[in-house]
Amino acid sequence: MTSRPIILGIVGDSAAGKTTLTKGIAQVLGPDNVTVICTDDYHRYDRSQRAEIGITALHPDCNYIDIMQQHLSLLRTGQPILKPVYSHKTGTFEPPQYIKPSKFVIIEGLLGYSTRIARDCYDVKVYLAPPESLRANWKVKRDTMKRGYTAEQVLAEMEKREPDSEQFIRPQRQWADVVVSFYPPKDASGEDASHLNVRLVLRPTVPHPDFTEILEQSKVDSMPAIRLELDRDMGKPVDVLEVDSHATKEQVSKIEKIICNEIPDLLPFCSLEGNPELGKLIGTTGETLESYPLALTQLMVGYHMIKATHLESTKAVPLEGSRV
C-alpha cells in the first residue's frame, strides 16, 4: 500500500474520448480502487453566462484553474476535497460533492496540464488526439444523442471553439507521457469503433516497457499489425507503437507478455486472460465494443499506474539510517 494515491491525467479536446478511456481504465483497475474527477466541474461560468460573455469553456479564464490546482495537490497527498459539480444536462452548477481519493485517481478534462503546478501533481499523463474528423463525428454523435444539441449547433460550436482549441488545448500534448490517437484504417469505409487502429506516442519522460523485440520485428516485416518506430513529436524524439485493429490475439498476447514480465502483478488487472473487461467499451448507443488496440492502450496506461505504485512504495520505506 502506498502512502498517497497514484494520479493519472487524461487530457484532450471535447469528445476526444477522455470519459470513454477513463471508464475503461477504471473498469480494468476495479471501480472500487478508482476515484474519477472531471475538470469540467471547475467551469467558472454556467452555460448561459458563457453565452452572454462570449467565452468558450476551453478558455482558461472560463475555469477556476487555481482551485483545480489546489484540489489536485490535496488529492495527491491523499486529502479529501469539496468538489464543485457542473451538470452537462442543465448547463448549471449543482451542490458540491465531498470526495475522498481512492488508491487511484483519474483526472480527466480539457485543461488539466495548463499550469506547471497542476502538471506536477500527476504520476502519469495521457493526452488524447484523434484526427479532427473523427473527433467531430464523435462529438456530433454524443452531443445530439446525450446532450440535447442539434448537429448544426455542435458543428457551429466547434467552429467557434477552434481558436481556443488551438491556443489552449492542443499545446498540452507536449506535456503527455503517452499520446493516444485512435484512427480509422486507410481502407475503412466507416468509423466502426471495433475497427479503429491506435497510435501511441511514448515520450521518454517515463520509462516504457522494453519493446526492442517489436522494433527489430518492425524492421524485418513490412507493415506488421503491431509495430514500433522511432519518430519525432512536436520536434522531440519519441517511440511510436502502432496497433492495427486486425492484430491477432497471439500478437497482442506477445506484447502483453513483454509488459507483464516486468510487472507480474499487472496480470490479474491487465491481461486478456485475467481481466475480461480489458479492451471493452460502451459505445454512444450503449452497445459493447471490443478492440485489441483499446486493450493494449489500457494495458499501457495500467502498466504505468502500477509501476508508479511500486515506485511510490519504495520511496515510502525510509532507508536505514536515513532518520535524523
Ligand X SMILES: O=C(COP(=O)(O)O)[C@H](O)[C@H](O)COP(=O)(O)O
Residues forming the site for ligand ADP (CB under 6 A): 12, 14-20, 138, 141-142, 182, 193, 196, 281, 283-284, 294
| Cβ-Cβ contacts under 8 Å for 146 (sequence gap 6 or more) | 284
Here the cell at position 249 is: 490475439
Compute the least distance from the CB of residue 189 to ligand ADP, in Å.
Answer: 16
Closer residue to ligand X (CB): 40 or 277: 40
Closer residue to ligand X (CB): 19 or 253: 19
Compute the least distance from the CB of residue 62 to ligand X, in Å.
Answer: 9
Listed in sequence order, the DSSP H helices in the chain are 18-29, 47-53, 65-76, 116-119, 132-146, 151-164, 212-220, 249-262, 267-270, 292-316
Q: What is the amino acid identity at position 287?
A: E
Closer residue to ligand X (CB): 14 or 35: 14
Compute the least distance from the CB of residue 24 to ligand ADP, in Å.
Answer: 8
Distance CA(16)–CA(153), nearest Å, equals: 18
Distance CA(276)–CA(33), nearest Å, equals: 17
Restricting to residues 86-115, which ones interact with ligand X according to CB under 6 A? Answer: 88, 91, 110
Map residues 1-40 to x or -, x wherever contact with ligand X holds by CB under 6 A. Answer: -------------xx--xx--------------------x
Among 4, 47, 195, 254, binds ligand X (CB under 6 A): 47
Distance CA(225)–CA(197), nearest Å, equals: 9
Closer residue to ligand X (CB): 59 or 227: 59
Which partner in ligand ADP, ligand X, none is near 251 (CB below 5 to 8 A by kind)? none
Per DSSP, what are the bridge partners of residue 43? 63
Compute the least distance from the CB of residue 284 to ligand X, in Å.
Answer: 13
C-alpha neighbours within 13 Å on the C-beta side of residue 206: 24
**Cα dist from 40 to 4, 63, 113, 132, whole Å:** 24, 8, 14, 21
Which partner in ligand ADP, ligand X, none is near 20 (CB below 5 to 8 A by kind)? ligand ADP
